[in-house]
Amino acid sequence: MLAAALTIGLGGCALLTEFDQRSNGIDGRPTGVVASITDGDTLRLVVDGEELRVRLIGIDTPELRPTPECFADEATDALARLAPVGTLIGYEYDEDPQDRFERELMYLFAADGTFINLALVEEGYARELHYAPNFRYRDEILAAEAAAQAGGLGLWGACL
């Protein structure tokens, strides 16, 4: 049976139906629609009609709450730029799917293939932070952190 794609406008972005989310992956990964950005390393993602609280694996950004830390606003804006509300993004789990706060632990990928977790580190908005056993992209993220730190990018130039 063929199903037609239905798009619904949301702030200038197109949302895909649940059928489209399941049948069209990003580089073979399952997808969801960004519902909101919480801070630089946390967002809400709608997957199969369920809104999930998502924590990006392998990185840590400055905290917004209770008091904003240096570069927290910039990190939040960077995640919003890389994963705008209403857009379809791919995701990938590692060994542990949830943290102690029951947030989904995910690596995120933009439609153009950008590895969002890595991009935040490369641009100096995040630091490397891995917890066992979620080490799939640890080497790439550590290398990106070293390069950003050496270049004084983002928080490395503004906060330290």
What CATH number does the domain containing 42 carry? 2.40.50.90
Residue 160 has a pLDDT of 73
Phi–psi pair at 42, nearest 5 degrees: -140, 135
94 Cβ neighbours under 8 A, 6+ residues apart: 57, 105, 107, 133, 134, 135, 136
Catalytic residue among 63, 69, 138, 140: 63
Catalytic residue among 103, 104, 122, 123: 103
**Distance (Å, rounded) from C-alpha 23 to C-alpha 15?**
14
Residue 77 located in a structural domain: yes
What six digits make up the tokens of 133? 């056993």
* Residue-range definition of the domain harbouring residue 72: 31-159
Beta bridge partners of 66: none
Predicted model pTM: 0.85
* Catalytic residue check, 122: no
- Residue 33: name the closest of 103, 99, 84 by CA: 84
Residue 129 located in a structural domain: yes
Residue 104 located in a structural domain: yes
Identify whether the C-beta of residue 108 lies closer than 8 Å to the C-beta of residue 117.
Answer: yes
Residue 26 located in a structural domain: no
- Residue 87: name the closest of 96, 79, 95 by CA: 79
Residue 10 located in a structural domain: no
Instruction: Please count the structural domains in the chain.
Output: 1
* Catalytic residue check, 63: yes
Residue 55 located in a structural domain: yes
Residue 24 has a pLDDT of 58
The pLDDT profile of the chain, 160 residues, written as one tens digit per residue, is: 223 333 333 443 444 444 344 445 899 999 999 999 999 999 999 999 999 999 999 999 999 999 999 999 999 999 999 999 999 999 999 999 999 999 999 999 999 999 999 999 999 999 999 999 999 999 999 999 999 999 999 999 999 7
Residue 25 has a pLDDT of 87
Strand (E) or helix (H) holding 16: strand 13-16
Residue 149 located in a structural domain: yes
Residue 3 located in a structural domain: no
